[in-house]
Amino acid sequence: MIWIVYLLLGIGVTFQLLGTMALHRFPDPYTRLHGSTMCTTFGSIFIYLGLILYGMSRGWLSYPIHIFLIMVLILITNPTGSHAIARAAYRSGVKPKGAVVDKLREGERDG
């Protein structure tokens, strides 16, 4: 059982490291935000699942419940926060790099 916990923690840490690499490697704030949010959310899920299994193997009842609630809150707040940051960057005039189809700007012209 402990090897499964180690495996889940290792996968989670690997995705967290990939998320930090996304912050340094991608060219504009939008792709950086997307890469780091996806990787850290996915990595957090694996870390929390490992912690839940560890708590269940120890016989702790409230520990896995609290970790599960934290995981649900992370799943809600990470994408919501990254969307708010991306929208604020767009409204402040930050342009994405490369050829991009801007459907939001097209919608502003119509409405």
Q: How confident is the model at residue 108 (pLDDT cuts 50, 70, 90)?
A: low
DSSP labels, 33-72: HHHHHHHHHHHHHHHHHHHHHHHHHHT-SHHHHHHHHHHH
Please tell me the number of Cα atoms within 13 Å of 45 on its side-chain side: 10
Per-residue tokens: 29: 């704030």
pLDDT grade, residue 14 (50/70/90)? very high
**CA geometry: angle at 13 spanning 8 and 14, to 5°?**
95
37: tokens are 């949010």
Burial environment of residue 43 by CB neighbours within 10 A (0 to 12, 13 to 18, 19 or more): buried
Is 70 exceeded by the pLDDT of residue 9?
Answer: yes
pLDDT in tens, 28-39: 888 899 999 999
Residue 107's pLDDT is 62
- Phi, psi of 61, deg, nearest 5: -90, -45
Q: What is the pLDDT of residues 43-98, one digit of tens each?
A: 999 999 999 999 998 888 888 999 999 999 999 999 999 999 999 998 898 888 87
User: Is residue 40 packed enough to be buried (19+ CB in 10 Å), middle (13-18) or exposed (0-12)?
Assistant: buried
Please tell me the predicted confidence (pLDDT) of residue 12: 96
